[in-house]
Amino acid sequence: MSSALKTQLLTGPALRRVPAIPGAVSNGNLRPARVSKSKFCPIRAVVNSDQNKATEAATKSVDAKDVNGSLLVSSSSSKEGLVDVRAVITIRKKLKEKLTEKIEDQWELFVNGIGQGIMIQLISEDIDPVTNSGKSVESAVRGWLPKPVTSSNVNIFQYEANFGVPSDFGNPGAILITNLHGKEFYLLEIVVHGFDGGPVFFPANTWIHSRKDNAESRIIFKNQAYLPSQTPAGIKDLRREDLLSIRGNGKGERKHHERIYDYAVYNDLGNPDKDKDLARPVLSGEERPYPRRCRTGRPPTKTDPLCESRIEKPHPVYVPRDETFEEIKQNTFSSGRLKAVLHNLIPSIAASLSSSDIPFTCFSDIDKLYNSGFLLKDDDEQNGRSKLFLATVIKQFLNVGDRLFKYETPAVIRRDRFAWLRDNEFARQTLAGVNPVNIEFLKEFPILSKLDPAIYGPPESAITKELIEEELHGLSVEKAIEEKRLFILDYHDLLLPFIEKINSLPDRKTYASRTVFFYNKAGMLRPLAIELSLPPSRSSPQNKHIYTHGHDATTHWIWKLAKAHVCSNDAGVHQLVNHWLMTHASMEPYIIATHRQLSSMHPIYKLLHPHMRYTLEINALARQSLINGGGIIEASFSPGRYAMELSSAAYKSFWRFDMEALPADLLRSDKIVRGMAEEDPSMPSGVRLVIEDYPYAADGLLIWCAIKEWVESYVAHFYSEPNSVTSDVELQAWWSEIKNKGHHDKRNEAWWPKLETKEDLSGIITIMIWTASGQHAAINFGQYPFGGYVPNRPTLMRKLVPQENDPGYEKFLLNPQHTFLSSLPTQLQATKVMAVQDTLSTHSPDEEYLGQVNQLHSHWINDPEVLNMFDKFSANLEEIEKIINTRNKDFRLKGRCGAGIPPYELLLPSSGPGVTGRGIPNSISI
């Protein structure tokens, strides 16, 4: 290395991270480390200097000058012998590269080979008495044209850096890495060999920014978990500095290379600068509360200073650099595929199905989507991009024909194409479908509304005790309630305030619905009555319609239309409330707070880390193309432009952190009474199901208990001392930030759990992991299997149920099938949402499932006891999978086994790639 380059590397801002480098070594030779004549710059986060008083003393570490005026470090360790230490740096390159990128890579290999591309500093856990900082040695990374590590990982390369480490160096605790290249690279891990205890692992799995983008070096800690109070003295300041750099200063627009986590309100869904009809209210505050999202810092719109300007497709929305999809995910699935669906496939479908957007005219039109497919027109505007997408991204849909688009047959009709027509299947899906979380025990009559009667009319339901008893054929309501055999799907209070606005939209007609079910002695749930309500008017102060299944043809068709309206409501609540709000949006603040307040060496960070993967990126994509003004959700679901306001209303009325625990939700007794379980201390979960054959709950409780046992053992391992939870400053700051910043609009609620004991902590963490894994899997990966057949689960309705005095009633009598089909989404609406549902139901090839560890992340923690606990957790999940498979073959369980009934597999832990209808990923990754 030239002397000029040495000077540059040692004095440049990238290496001004430790105040002095005792016994620093270059090329294996001990020498004093030379630094700039100016005062040495300590580690500095991108924050105000007064935020880190701990680093002020570091600038006073120099105690001598050499004859040239350069600063000298203490040389006390230079008299000691040196130990040869080798650091192996593992870097991942792109799987597919352009020619220019390949040329750049060859240059990088050359630069790394001569030691001018990457610099690393090894920091000891021990303090140097002269500098009062961790002892440090440094070296350049070297290696000539490295070969792939293994033939199966051809994109993974390794380099070496060699050190001569003083014998009194102590244990290495951190590495500072500086990227001198002009672009970032992805660092998998660093393994240091040569210390007495064996190899020391520094798992990274992070993008290392270029020094030209940020002069600060990156801090990588070894795979040892430390509570804040247990942090070795040599790396204590680095722990705090790393957290400060992640938090940022809350100013400016975020840049692609940054890894800064901060909060913002949902003020980026509308685009009033583009069209006033695309203006959307800010979701924040008492009127429209909502969880917080990751801050991007974009400037406000010109039209509305309260709204943030948008980054429109195909340009990416900022997320912290390490939250972006990895290349496999980008190339084979979500980023590329979702954008292709929205930007290439859907326009092709629109062109092929005509601009008039016609309804389905007969059921064979729907069947053709799976059996025959349809030709996509060759539009010049679509040209190569659309064809490339169809050829590469979803080729499983394509027939031999070059442009023939064909959907896979959804699971709900694969075994029995007429199952969706039957009442028992309609009822079964409330327990074993894609949205099995809203059914409640019906405990009393009359069914009362909690809405203001001065605005919404009398609180009583039009479903009366007498009506129910007619359907029960002699069994009294009191007896049915006593035996816990009456249940309800109640969307009345949530939807009624929005009905008038929704029904004013073109081709949108909906009701506020209630559906009452009876659980018979044969173990089958069947619907008894459906109530469809419109807002009260002067002519109809109680504008409610009651439907039962009846015995004549007309009543049967009316009943089918009523069920379709209930399914449409269920689809909207599922997507906007249970799926988006309760999992995606609610998890985002936990992820932001975890990065901001818990060091990567904190044991709770290590526990939660697998459950945060990809979530911020998929949420950013959703804000850009799915839940935004004019996006696919507004276009395809009943609430239309009021979709996110409806989601906010649900957050205001129903969301409680403590009720996101599965047992608590089944028992729930606050503003709603689910009553689907009863307390039973003899059961592992502490509850006993009211309906034993409730597949979502029965399987979910197995997963819940496995997670709970794993978390409790992990937490007890690290928090064994009294008051260890309350004295953990990072942990307390983390929980405070989740409540007061992440869920700011709910910060004053009395139901927030305390965080004082290890039991409190275990309960909180179990809820988070369950939400990210089991809960999301149960309500996400069945979207296409159940919703891919439009009549089974229409996402919107375009007509109200015909009444005898309606002008179109006679047309209904003459052709009820046409009335039914023309009430469903149009062909374009249906095929668009089917394409998106398929995408959202697809597992990526790089998916990481609950209880599994990616081979490249196998050194995530250096703790044999923890690894043994994790092995037990994995074994429990394997046993659960066997139990679920056995249940799916038990003919006594009619909700999951029988002629034509698909097995309930949404909570089977493992899966392969694709639309499988099973598998629990660690995180909300789609």
Query: Is 70 exceeded by the pLDDT of residue 309?
Result: yes
Q: Which amino acid is at 72?
A: L
Active site residue 52: no
Distance from CA of residue 760 to its chain's centroid?
A: 24
Confidence of residue 848 (pLDDT cuts 50, 70, 90): very high
pLDDT by residue (tens digit) across 740-796? 999 999 999 999 999 999 999 999 999 999 999 999 999 999 999 999 999 999 999
Beta-carbon-side half-sphere exposure of residue 507 (alpha carbons within 13 Å):
15
Query: Is 50 exceeded by the pLDDT of residue 261?
Result: yes
pLDDT, average across residues 311-326: 88
Active site residue 473: no
CA distance 436 to 16: 56
CA distance 718 to 703: 23
Cβ neighbours for 435, distance < 8 A, ≥ 6 positions apart? 429, 570, 571, 573, 574, 578, 779
Query: Is 50 exceeded by the pLDDT of residue 76?
Result: no
Q: Does the residue 887 lie in any domain?
A: no
Query: Is 50 exceeded by the pLDDT of residue 806?
Result: yes
pLDDT, average across residues 529-554: 90
DSSP per residue, 532-597: EE----SS-SS-EEEE---SSHHHHHHHHHHHHHHHHHHHHHIIIIIIIIIIIIHHHHHHHHHHHH
Question: Dihedral through CA 854, CA 859, CA 862, CA 868, nearest 10?
Answer: 40
The pLDDT score that the predictor gives to residue 36 is 28
Residue count of the chain, please give it: 926
Query: Is 70 exceeded by the pLDDT of residue 374?
Result: no
Q: Which of 410, 375, 224, 331 is nearest to 786 (CA)?
A: 410
Domain that holds residue 553: 437-575+793-825
Contact at 8 Å (CB) between 87 and 139? yes
Active site residue 579: yes
Confidence of residue 656 (pLDDT cuts 50, 70, 90): very high
Helical (H) or strand (E) element with 328: helix 327-332
Contact at 8 Å (CB) between 438 and 570? yes
CA distance 727 to 229: 8
The pLDDT score that the predictor gives to residue 406 is 76
Distance from CA of residue 259 to its chain's centroid?
A: 18
The pLDDT score that the predictor gives to residue 469 is 93
Cβ neighbours for 283, distance < 8 A, ≥ 6 positions apart? 265, 266, 267, 269, 289, 290, 644, 645, 647, 648
Confidence of residue 331 (pLDDT cuts 50, 70, 90): low
**Dihedral sign (CA 72, 73, 74, 80):** negative
The pLDDT score that the predictor gives to residue 541 is 73
Is 503 exposed, middle or buried, given 0-12, 13-18 or 19+ CB atoms closer than 10 A?
A: middle
Q: Which of 549, 595, 611, 776 is catalytic?
A: 776
Q: Which two tokens stand for residue 700?
A: 């979910």
Looking at residue 524, the DSSP 8-state letter turns out to be -
Q: Report which listed range, 1-15, 38-52, 332-346, 675-689, is most confident.
A: 675-689
Q: Which of 331, 780, 792, 888 is catalytic?
A: 780
Of 227, 247, 267, which residue constitutes the final position of a domain?
Answer: 247
Query: Is 60 exceeded by the pLDDT of residue 654?
Result: yes
Using only the alpha carbons of the chain, give its radius of gyration. Answer: 30
Residue with tokens 């099938």, as numbered in its chain:
817
Gap between the terminal Cα atoms of the chain: 48
The pLDDT score that the predictor gives to residue 3 is 40
Cβ neighbours for 405, distance < 8 A, ≥ 6 positions apart? 345, 348, 349, 352, 373, 374, 375, 376, 390, 397, 398
Q: Which amino acid is at 758?
A: K
CA distance 393 to 414: 24
The pLDDT score that the predictor gives to residue 144 is 55
Query: Is 70 exceeded by the pLDDT of residue 659?
Result: yes
Count of the separate structural domains present in the chain: 2
Q: Which of 727, 731, 736, 729 is nearest to 762 (CA)?
A: 731
The pLDDT score that the predictor gives to residue 668 is 85
pLDDT, average across residues 634-656: 97
Q: Which of 579, 595, 602, 743 is catalytic?
A: 579
The pLDDT score that the predictor gives to residue 356 is 54
Cβ neighbours for 487, distance < 8 A, ≥ 6 positions apart? 430, 439, 440, 441, 442, 516, 517, 518, 519, 525
Cβ neighbours for 384, distance < 8 A, ≥ 6 positions apart? none
Q: Which two tokens stand for residue 614?
A: 């990809």
Query: Is 80 exceeded by the pLDDT of residue 547?
Result: yes
The pLDDT score that the predictor gives to residue 4 is 39
pLDDT by residue (tens digit) across 78-111? 435 899 999 999 998 876 667 676 777 777 777 7
Q: Does the residue 907 lie in any domain?
A: no
Query: Is 50 exceeded by the pLDDT of residue 402?
Result: no
Of 217, 247, 277, which residue constitutes the final position of a domain?
Answer: 247
Query: Is 90 exceeded by the pLDDT of residue 220?
Result: yes
CA distance 606 to 305: 40
∠ at Cα 223 (221, 227), nearest 5°?
80
Q: What is the CATH number of the domain that holds 508?
A: 3.10.450.60
CA distance 286 to 52: 35
Q: Which two tokens stand for residue 17?
A: 């991270």
Q: Which of 584, 595, 611, 744 is catalytic?
A: 584
**Dihedral sign (CA 637, 642, 645, 651):** negative
Contact at 8 Å (CB) between 385 and 345? no
pLDDT, average across residues 681-705: 97
Q: What is the CATH number of the domain that holds 162?
A: 2.60.60.20
CA distance 379 to 75: 74
Q: Which two tokens stand for residue 259?
A: 């890894």
Confidence of residue 61 (pLDDT cuts 50, 70, 90): very low
pLDDT, average across residues 48-60: 33
Q: Does the residue 520 lie in any domain?
A: yes
Q: What are the two backbone dihedrals, phi and then psi, of residue 507, each rounded to the nearest 5 degrees?
A: 55, 35
Cβ neighbours for 314, distance < 8 A, ≥ 6 positions apart? 339, 343
Q: Does the residue 516 lie in any domain?
A: yes
Q: Does the residue 53 lie in any domain?
A: no
The pLDDT score that the predictor gives to residue 328 is 65
Beta-carbon-side half-sphere exposure of residue 351 (alpha carbons within 13 Å):
17
Contact at 8 Å (CB) between 778 and 903? no
Helical (H) or strand (E) element with 178: strand 172-179
Q: What are the two backbone dihedrals, phi and then psi, of residue 644, each rounded to the nearest 5 degrees?
A: -75, -25
3-class DSSP string for 195-255: CCCCCEEEEEEEEECECCCCCCCEEEECCCCCCHHHCCHHHHHHHHHHHHHHHCCCCCCCC
Active site residue 235: no
3-class DSSP state for residue 740? helix
pLDDT, average across residues 1-24: 35
Q: Does the residue 137 lie in any domain?
A: yes
**Before 663, cis peptide (omega within 30)?**
no
pLDDT by residue (tens digit) across 512-526? 999 999 999 999 999
Contact at 8 Å (CB) between 698 and 887? yes
Could you tell me which residue, 835 or 296, shows the higher pLDDT? 296
Helical (H) or strand (E) element with 121: strand 118-128
CA distance 674 to 693: 16
Q: Does the residue 601 lie in any domain?
A: no
Percent of the chain with pLDDT over 90: 70
Going by DSSP bridges, is the β-strand pair 172-179/153-166 parallel, antiparallel, or unpaired?
unpaired
CA distance 300 to 322: 26
Residue with tokens 């409501």, as numbered in its chain:
569
Is 15 exposed, middle or buried, given 0-12, 13-18 or 19+ CB atoms closer than 10 A?
A: buried
Q: Does the residue 725 lie in any domain?
A: no
Query: Is 60 exceeded by the pLDDT of residue 382?
Result: no
The pLDDT score that the predictor gives to residue 540 is 76
The pLDDT score that the predictor gives to residue 315 is 85
Contact at 8 Å (CB) between 245 and 45? yes
Which range is least confidently modeled, 167-176, 394-403, 851-860, 910-919? 394-403
The pLDDT score that the predictor gives to residue 371 is 81
Active site residue 574: no
The pLDDT score that the predictor gives to residue 670 is 59
3-class DSSP state for residue 143? coil
Confidence of residue 539 (pLDDT cuts 50, 70, 90): confident
pLDDT by residue (tens digit) across 205-216? 999 999 999 999
**Dihedral sign (CA 403, 408, 413, 414):** positive
CA distance 87 to 200: 9
